[in-house]
Structure 1
Amino acid sequence: MVAQAPFEGGDILTSPLYTDPRTKDELEQKSTVVDDYESDEKRYVGSVDKEKHEKHEKEGRRTRYDDLEGVEGLEWERGDEQLEAKGDDDDPEYASIPQIVRELVDFEDDTSTPILTWRFYFLSGIFTALGAWLTQMSYFRTTSIPYSIYFVQIASLYFGRLLAGALPKKTIGRGRFSFELNPGPFSVKEHVAIVLAANTGATNNLGDYVLAPLYVYYDAPMNGWLAILFMWSCVFVGFSYASFARKFLIEDPKIVFPLTLQQVALFRSMRDSFEYDSATNKKQMRVFWYGILAFFVWQFLPEYVAPLLSSLTILCWVSSNPNVTFAGSGLGGAGFLNITLDWSNIGSSVIYQPWWVQTNVFAASVLGVWILIPVGWYTGAFNSDLYPIRSFERRTNYFFSYVAYLGTFVSLALFQGPLLWKTAKAQYRGEKLHRDRLNVIMDAYPTVPWTWNVVLFIVPVGVLTGLTVGGTLCMPVYALYIGPAFGAAIVLPMGYIYSVSGYSVSVGYFNEIVYGYIINLGGSRHPVGSLSYRVISGQAWYEAQSMLSDMKASPDQARFSFRPLGHYFHIPPRAVLWAQVWGILIGVPINYATIMWICTSKADFLTGKTSDPNKQWTGQTVISLNNQGIQFALVGPKRLFADPAYQPMLYGFVVGAVAPFLLYGLHRTFPRAKFNLFSLAIFGSAMESFHGNISTGFFTKYILGSVNYLYLRRHKYEFWKTYAYIFGAAADTGLNLNMLIIFLAFSAGKTVTMPHWFGNNAISVERCFPRA
């Protein structure tokens, strides 16, 4: 279920995405004059508009910063600078824009700023190719090779400024085929476009689901050009889907894409530290660089020297009883009260994901890991006495993925239906529903013609049809047209969840079962056919999600992290689209070359013929996907779910269809109880994320997330606004840099293991030693 109430009445002040930074007592003050307040760093001068405050009280609203009248609204003085809250609630162009956006985003624009310069193509090409290579290798390895988008953001700024300062002003070429060697200062729009391209292309491509099994297990490698066309086509279909959801998710100013704001904060701080003599920006960048250094150095401890720090098992320290150690162990048990000091188990989602999202995830983790897993372990329930705990995880994954999938559609219809219908009617009539300042700025630029989206859909589908008819994709033609249809259907509901929560819902399990049933209509039951269907349907959705978030303001560090970057930095829609297309044109051939290099040079490791002494090139993902293809294409879901252990899994669809009506009724009856903030999609998706006995992290994440939102954001808002997103970006960057160095130094060539000691016990790194 999605976050309904925040937008139900169209008032951002009721949204969990907005938290007034002042205390209740401060808001209830009725005095018409606020005396000058002085401290070491800041001074507020202004007065409270009493009439406006009382009016808002009667309406049940909170008075916001912009309701305080002073010099141009709110004015803070910190040494040599002024930080001003932009706009006013009485101005319709600003009233609907969330406060944090009004504080981070610039509302002025220069339409003459160059964007797609040769520097863009040069730098984005390099960073995209590097990321596509590194990330694609992770698909085949036991340990992943990180490629942080923050690295691209940092490095491209320095290289862009270097090129702008060193190269002469000179025209290269003639006429239409000419360009300026130095088009002027390295603009923020160039900078953002480079990151957009890399965020889209510097990833692995889901085409590896098909190419690797064909090569490794069936000795039927796909022709190189056909493989690249296949990978391109699946991505571009997703691009066309994104345009459908743009009116619903991008132009609505209340939908902020939480992860986007972290990227915006870093962009602004980095560039302002160069361009303005701002004390705050200098402090922000010091926090950023010191944060990178601190986390880079620290991560050597939990990742290599002392893995004990990654899973501090309190229960194991007080008892060696096997039942107790299972409950406490985070590496093989339930992880009850387990604490982690490893940032790779935490991540910056504790900062950018709304607290109601983190509460949904924590509740799911408690139910799945602290309740259901121990019940199965101790009592033999759920056939746990017959099947290993890993099998129970597999079954819960199916059940809750079905709950999340169908529950998303029903919840969206119940809670957001009127708003979506209003938007759809406005779009059909050619009306402009949102007239906020950001949309007004973007109106100066031509939109992407609908014919471009038609081409982005028709041409790739034509290519995929040819590949299917020719037998290359090992599936019947009718399945090809069903796959994109399901991919298109989920863009709006799943995109809505991601846009308000920063949480990405997986759709793979549903695509598996759909193919398993439709293949009964006839055609090849080759296992790779199931994987081809998953790629076509799934890649289209994931690329649509990634493109939407790039449109709004920022890319996700993981992969699916978004017109936000384009919207918040006022980049023309056509330039955003081309930057993304350029990233894919560069990234996919690199993906293909990497896949073929690994399949050729590591084939014996991937098939299991030879054991990799480093235990890295195991191809565990390839093995798992091939097994899934066999299960759903050859065996089929009908026979699979005939097993008594798997029969209850299909009831997930029933729960997903019925539960939203119950929650909607409770919300309408008890609106103050916030039943609308219970999200079936997020809860169900989190329930399927218990990764085979690895249960450390979620308890620590919830503690930190609660401190971040309930204390820092509520009571130390100025501090939080200035440093929270910067800190999160620094921590993630330091982690990724550390993991890259560890990979290159200790496992890329010869494996160098850490000697065993107290913090790296040979039997149990977390020192859980149950009695025999």
Structure 2
Amino acid sequence: MVSEHHAAGPSPASLPTPVASKKHFDIYDEKDYQQYDESPVIDLEELEKDSPIEEVRVTVSNRDDPSMPYNTFRMWFLGLLFTVIIAFVNQFFYLRQTTVTVGYSVVALISLPMGHFMARVLPIRRYRIPLLGWKFTLNPGPFSIKEHVLIGTMAACNSTTAYAVDIVILQKVFYHQTGTPFFGSVLLVLTTQITGFAMAGGIRRFLVRPAQMVWPQTLVTAALFRSLHASSITSNNDDEDGTGASTEKEQGGLGARRMSRTKYFLLVTLASFIYYWFPGFIFPTIGTISWICWLQPNNVILAQLTGAGGLGIGTIALDWTAISAYVQPLVTPWFAQVNILIGFITMAYILVPWTYYSNLWNAKQYPIISASLFQQDGSEYNVTEVLDKDSLLVDELYTAYGPLRMSVFFAIAYGIGFAALSATVVHTILYHGKDIVARWKITLQDKHDVHLRLMSAYPEVPDWWYGLLFATMFALSFVTCVVYDFMPWWALILALAIAIFFLLPVGIVQAITNQQPGLNIVTEYVIGTLLPGHPIANVTFKTYGYIVNVQALAFASDLKLGHYMKIPPRIMFLVQLVSSVIGCIVNLATAMWLINTRPNICTAEGYPFTCRSTKTFYSASVIWGAIGPAKVFGTEDGSLYSPVQYGFLIGALLPLVFWFLSNKVFRKTSWLKQVHWPVLLAATSNMPPAMPYFYSNGLLVGFIFAFLLRRYRYRWWSRYNYLTSAALDSGVALAGLIIFFALQSGGVQMPHWWGNPQPTGQDANTAIMDHCPSSWSSYNSAV
């Protein structure tokens, strides 16, 4: 709970009303423009110490300037420009064998000089619109950090492609259905993306406003923007105020000659950019150094245990994309990483070897780690052999062809996913139930946090805006599902009910730990049970249940960033909505263009457009939709995997047991309170496609930064930790774009040598890179 000393402070009425709260489009009087640099800065430091959260104190400014421009022509111009570019680029690369995602950091770096250039060259002349009573200028002053954050937010709304686009690709490429018109596909994509935005408004008082809801990933972004605008913002912990410089050396810190955040960020970005050319182009083998496997590369057991395509024990990854992909070691709190470590070791190093080498479910017939689907003899499972022309399951064909099989790792991962979901609900009730009830009672009257007090200077978005948006999206979703026959109307209601039910539990876990338990498994399970044999209905239900939840939390995360950076809520609402709508249309149009122009797309012959992620999506549609959970995880037609359903029960019991022990039996044992079962169980939810060595290397880096440096070099950690993460991401993203666009898209490839071996197959690519090909083999086929 928030400390009592944060309760004091000025009331909202005592805070000055920002200029931009007037009803206009960026109206600034000449006096406002002339005095922009001299405008008063609200400083609550005398009244409020700061945020009660340490990570926030060292990263986020506790000052605000409400007169700073934000709703400007240049913000909208650059924001919409990057919205279109990012939506196109990310969708284009999403379907390629090697993907590149362009997000916040790249847009922040590129848009900064463009914003400053526009501030120099645009006229400051004032324009009037008599009918509306508006007056505005194209150039209200220096390019501000708030404009910059809004531009980044518009790009961030499209940093991941619209999930529903995969449904359209499945229909047209994998299931050969051509009945849905383009307008129907547009409605599907829009409703699944925007409905989550409407839900985010409903949970903002629980997941955005409270100080305890940190959203660690937003701190990285906040550190990035503050470093790029270091000369225009100040606070008690900024570079420019000079506080603490004389005592840093005494406290084991950086000394008097500390480097500015801006210079540090640029140097680390440059180093990351230069280095990534080695794992990304010149020397890919250093991304997966399976040195133990090299001792006996033909020993199948050693390869499965130590190779990058197996459990990756001892594999060293010198590639930031692999280290940071799932753990985010510089961002995720250390207590969460400890939970991830325990869950990872239990899953990858204990359960999987034990079940695999004891040949549970005939495990040795298949690779130790794989997301592929198999027949009983280990050959690939061809689902078209059991479907009719309308892509519906034919029981007689399924019985004749044989039951579906999967790797033991894949099956156990589903069981742990079941456990993680039930654990999330129980954990939230036990550990956060009272706080949720209390917050529901006080709602907007909670003014304890300094950042919430600063944000009270701006008009809040009325709840009816979000309510009207949700009602509109629900109506359009109903039309989409019924008219275009994606799934029955009752399925839509059930899917949205699941998304809403899990919104707070999953959101609280993500806001505190930076880990997000997914709803994909439970949504697939529910609709697969109720409507088996319908793959398109299954993935549509999953999208409305799972992705609507994910989108709501993604928008909530952006709202938290706006909260930290003091962005007025109403303009944040506008930019998120507009950019999301435009991005959805661009995503879909790009995918349709590639489908219609690229021959053999989503096949090996269509390289580089092999649609790796979409194929995983397709496999899930086969397991849960075309065949159904009753035949895979039940007891019908030779199913073996029914025991994994006990995961639901186990996940519900574990938090209950530990809560009872820590609160009733061993109250003085502090480590029991740090056991976070949703994180511990969800640690391996991304494996596969994530490989175990991603986790082992990420957790090692996390131990260095989140534990050692924070404990023994706190000054350095507090100043540069989050900035380091942002800089490494920026350098990798910039290098990746140049490698793909300037070289590989033009057919320029690095010559093959030991450090860049010749691939011999799509699935064996990683195994070849680490010179340990047997790690991808099954035990029986290699023996």
The verdict on a shared fold, with TM-score over 0.5 as the criterion, is yes
- Which of residues 147, 150, 155 is equivalent to 1:193? 150
Match of 2:421 in 1: 405
- Which of residues 737, 741, 749 is equivalent to 2:738? 741
Contact 1:400–1:688 (Cα < 8 Å) also in 2: yes
Partner of 2:364, secondary structure, is coil
Match of 1:97 in 2: 52
Q: How far apart, CA to CA, are the structure 1 residues paired with 2:5 and 2:629?
A: 45
Does residue 670 in structure 1 map to residue 628 in structure 2?
A: no
Partner amino acid, structure 2, of 1:460? M
Q: How far apart, CA to CA, are the structure 2 residues paired with 1:360 and 1:657?
A: 17
Partner amino acid, structure 2, of 1:230? L
Contact 2:410–2:688 (Cα < 8 Å) also in 1: no
Contact 1:335–1:695 (Cα < 8 Å) also in 2: yes
Q: How far apart, CA to CA, are the structure 1 residues paired with 2:702 and 2:189?
A: 38
Q: Measured at CA, do residues 156 and 734 of structure 1 come closer, stay the same or move farther in structure 2, by a change above 3 Å?
A: same
Deviation at 1:455, TM superposition (A): 0.9
Deviation string, structure 1 residues 605-642 (Cα, Å, up to 9, x no partner): 33x4x713xx3212333333334324333422122222
User: Which region of structure 1 is more displaced relative to structure 2, 358-367 or 616-625?
Assistant: 616-625
Q: How far apart, CA to CA, are the structure 2 residues paired with 1:226 and 1:124?
A: 27
- Matched residue pairs, number? 667
Match of 1:433 in 2: 446
Does residue 660 in structure 1 map to residue 655 in structure 2?
A: yes
Does residue 367 in structure 1 map to residue 346 in structure 2?
A: yes
Match of 1:254 in 2: 212
Partner of 2:66, secondary structure, is coil
Contact 2:527–2:541 (Cα < 8 Å) also in 1: yes
Q: Measured at CA, do residues 112 and 206 of structure 1 come closer, stay the same or move farther in structure 2, by a change above 3 Å?
A: same
Deviation at 1:685, TM superposition (A): 2.0
Contact 1:171–1:180 (Cα < 8 Å) also in 2: yes
- Which of residues 492, 501, 508 is equivalent to 2:520? 508
Deviation at 1:543, TM superposition (A): 1.4
Give matches, 1:520-539, under 5 Å. 526-539=534-547
Partner amino acid, structure 1, of 2:559? M
Q: How far apart, CA to CA, are the structure 2 residues paired with 1:133 and 1:761?
A: 30
- Which of residues 609, 618, 622 is equivalent to 2:614? 622
Match of 1:486 in 2: 498
- Which of residues 622, 625, 629 is equivalent to 1:633? 625
- Which of residues 332, 345, 356 is equivalent to 2:309? 332
Q: How far apart, CA to CA, are the structure 1 residues paired with 2:773 and 2:570?
A: 60
Partner of 1:426, secondary structure, is helix
TM-score, structure 1 normalization: 0.81
Match of 1:169 in 2: 124
Deviation at 1:600, TM superposition (A): 0.8
Does residue 602 in structure 1 map to residue 598 in structure 2?
A: yes
Match of 2:252 in 1: none
- Which of residues 255, 273, 278 is equivalent to 1:301? 278
Q: How far apart, CA to CA, are the structure 2 residues paired with 1:448 and 1:347?
A: 35
Contact 1:393–1:688 (Cα < 8 Å) also in 2: no
Q: Measured at CA, do residues 505 and 748 of structure 1 come closer, stay the same or move farther in structure 2, by a change above 3 Å?
A: farther
Partner amino acid, structure 1, of 2:630? K
Match of 1:53 in 2: none
Contact 2:83–2:158 (Cα < 8 Å) also in 1: yes
Deviation string, structure 1 residues 374-413 (Cα, Å, up to 9, x no partner): 3344332343134443222321221111111111001110
Q: Measured at CA, do residues 275 and 516 of structure 1 come closer, stay the same or move farther in structure 2, by a change above 3 Å?
A: closer
Contact 1:315–1:327 (Cα < 8 Å) also in 2: no
Contact 1:313–1:337 (Cα < 8 Å) also in 2: yes
Match of 1:752 in 2: 749
Does residue 448 in structure 1 map to residue 461 in structure 2?
A: yes
User: Which region of structure 1 is more displaced relative to structure 2, 294-303 or 748-757?
Assistant: 748-757
Deviation string, structure 1 residues 77-106 (Cα, Å, up to 9, x no partner): xxxxxxxx9847xx5x44652234234333
Partner of 1:611, secondary structure, is helix
Deviation string, structure 1 residues 463-486 (Cα, Å, up to 9, x no partner): 11112221x142111001111111
Q: How far apart, CA to CA, are the structure 2 residues paired with 1:281 and 1:184?
A: 31
Q: Measured at CA, do residues 12 and 339 of structure 1 come closer, stay the same or move farther in structure 2, by a change above 3 Å?
A: farther
Q: How far apart, CA to CA, are the structure 1 residues paired with 2:580 and 2:172?
A: 23
Match of 1:184 in 2: 141
Q: Measured at CA, do residues 318 and 160 of structure 1 come closer, stay the same or move farther in structure 2, by a change above 3 Å?
A: same
Match of 2:172 in 1: 215
Deviation at 1:320, TM superposition (A): 4.9
Partner amino acid, structure 2, of 1:246? R
Partner of 1:689, secondary structure, is coil
Q: How far apart, CA to CA, are the structure 1 residues paired with 2:580 and 2:5?
A: 36
User: Which region of structure 1 is more displaced relative to structure 2, 219-228 or 711-720?
Assistant: 219-228
User: Which region of structure 1 is more displaced relative to structure 2, 227-236 or 753-762?
Assistant: 753-762
Partner amino acid, structure 1, of 2:302? T
Q: How far apart, CA to CA, are the structure 2 residues paired with 1:296 and 1:414?
A: 45
Partner of 1:748, secondary structure, is helix
Contact 1:332–1:694 (Cα < 8 Å) also in 2: yes
Partner amino acid, structure 2, of 1:588? C
Instruction: Give the aligned CA root-mean-square deviation in angstroms.
Output: 2.8
Does residue 156 in structure 1 map to residue 111 in structure 2?
A: yes
Partner amino acid, structure 1, of 2:343? A
- Which of residues 63, 70, 84 is equivalent to 1:108? 63
Does residue 125 in structure 1 map to residue 49 in structure 2?
A: no
Contact 1:265–1:726 (Cα < 8 Å) also in 2: yes
- Which of residues 412, 416, 420 is equivalent to 1:396? 412
Partner amino acid, structure 2, of 1:287? Y
Match of 2:362 in 1: 383
Q: Measured at CA, do residues 295 and 221 of structure 1 come closer, stay the same or move farther in structure 2, by a change above 3 Å?
A: farther
Match of 1:356 in 2: 335
Partner of 1:605, secondary structure, is coil
Structure 2 residue runs of 5 or longer lacking an equivalent are: 7-42, 243-256, 371-406, 760-766, 775-781
Deviation at 1:549, TM superposition (A): 0.9
Match of 1:458 in 2: 471
Partner amino acid, structure 1, of 2:409? E
Q: Measured at CA, do residues 473 and 683 of structure 1 come closer, stay the same or move farther in structure 2, by a change above 3 Å?
A: farther
Deviation string, structure 1 residues 567-594 (Cα, Å, up to 9, x no partner): 1121121111111112112211111111
Q: Measured at CA, do residues 765 and 726 of structure 1 come closer, stay the same or move farther in structure 2, by a change above 3 Å?
A: same
Does residue 286 in structure 1 map to residue 286 in structure 2?
A: no
Partner amino acid, structure 2, of 1:115? Y
Deviation string, structure 1 residues 98-150 (Cα, Å, up to 9, x no partner): 23423433333333333221111100011111111111123322210220310
TM-score, structure 2 normalization: 0.80
Q: How far apart, CA to CA, are the structure 2 residues paired with 1:622 and 1:218?
A: 15
Partner amino acid, structure 2, of 1:443? S
Q: How far apart, CA to CA, are the structure 2 residues paired with 1:119 and 1:551?
A: 21
Contact 1:206–1:539 (Cα < 8 Å) also in 2: yes
Deviation at 1:315, TM superposition (A): 1.8
Deviation string, structure 1 residues 527-586 (Cα, Å, up to 9, x no partner): 21111111212221111111111111xxxxxxxxxxxx2111211211111111121122
Deviation at 1:258, TM superposition (A): 1.0
Q: Measured at CA, do residues 320 and 189 of structure 1 come closer, stay the same or move farther in structure 2, by a change above 3 Å?
A: closer
Q: How far apart, CA to CA, are the structure 1 residues paired with 2:673 and 2:530?
A: 35
Contact 2:202–2:466 (Cα < 8 Å) also in 1: no
Partner of 1:384, secondary structure, is helix
User: Which region of structure 1 is more displaced relative to structure 2, 121-130 or 171-180?
Assistant: 171-180
Match of 2:588 in 1: 592
Q: How far apart, CA to CA, are the structure 1 residues paired with 2:50 and 2:264?
A: 32
Match of 2:402 in 1: none
Contact 1:327–1:374 (Cα < 8 Å) also in 2: no
Q: How far apart, CA to CA, are the structure 1 residues paired with 2:92 and 2:78?
A: 22
Deviation at 1:734, TM superposition (A): 1.0
- Which of residues 237, 240, 243 is equivalent to 2:195? 237
